[in-house]
Structure 1
């Protein structure tokens, strides 16, 4: 092998690096587009959502005065009602006494809520949750009382 052949070996412009460069640029572009698209479309907020998932059972009692409903956590995540805010509201305009649920709420936990007046007939009851920071909130359960 001559010295000129050795020089030509190291100075040869034919290589794989342009192909690798193009592949890397395409990959970087796709990744950046995905990250930017996620946050522009608002999907990034859902990634940090720490909303609990829980099931509740509602038992309405219109035979008492005032009428009451017993709400039981039947399964799902345990909710820390001492730091997070859990409230029970109605959409029919009736007010509920003691509407805050300020305790640890785990499967099997029940609490009785009482209307200030009237009865539950056709009333829609919601169990609402708000995180301790106030950044996240959700309606965990909804039930409509029988008429």
Structure 2
């Protein structure tokens, strides 16, 4: 009588699956570490506020009044105004308190900016030091 022997091989599918799992775990860990090292995790959470501005220019004084017309409140330490020969960025004392960043800019708040009638003035928002920037509003002189 002949005996049937079962294959007695321990090197089957298990080592292959183990190697695939180890490679997958290594790739996932590398992606997570790279995201935090490169700072991508911070920039995903910092979106520019949605806001509108109204502008009124006084030819006599050369003052441009920029008014928050509505939308999200903005930290004044993250807002700059650029145009003509002046660059108030980052951080504008929007409320006139003498301290930048002590309040939020909300609907109805205004800021006086010296500008020429043919200047282009931009309201710039910056997420933080070295962070993303966005132009929130643009006034183009006549």
Instruction: State the Cα deviation string for residues 108-129 of structure 1 (Å, max 9, x = none).
Output: 23313131xxx54231212234
Q: Which residue of 1 aligns with 2:57?
A: 61
TM-score by length of 2: 0.61
TM-score by length of 1: 0.59
Structure of larger gyration radius: 1
Task: Give the Cα separation in 2 of the matches to 1:94 and 1:15.
Answer: 72
Task: Give the Cα separation in 2 of the matches to 1:95 and 1:20.
Answer: 60
Question: Alignment partner for residue 94 of structure 2, among 88, 95, 101?
Answer: 101
Give 3-state SS (helix, strand or coil) of 1:65's partner: coil
Unmatched 5+ stretches in structure 1: 1-7
Preserved CA contact (<8 Å) 1:73 1:109: yes
Instruction: State the Cα deviation string for residues 86-127 of structure 1 (Å, max 9, x = none).
Output: 33231x21588xx52253223x23313131xxx542312122
In the alignment of these two chains, the number of paired residues is 126
The 3 A distance-change label for structure 1 pair 34 and 138 is: same
RMSD of aligned alpha carbons: 3.6
Superposed, which structure 2 residues align to 1:68-83 within 5 Å? 68-75=64-71, 77-81=72-76
Unmatched 5+ stretches in structure 2: 96-102
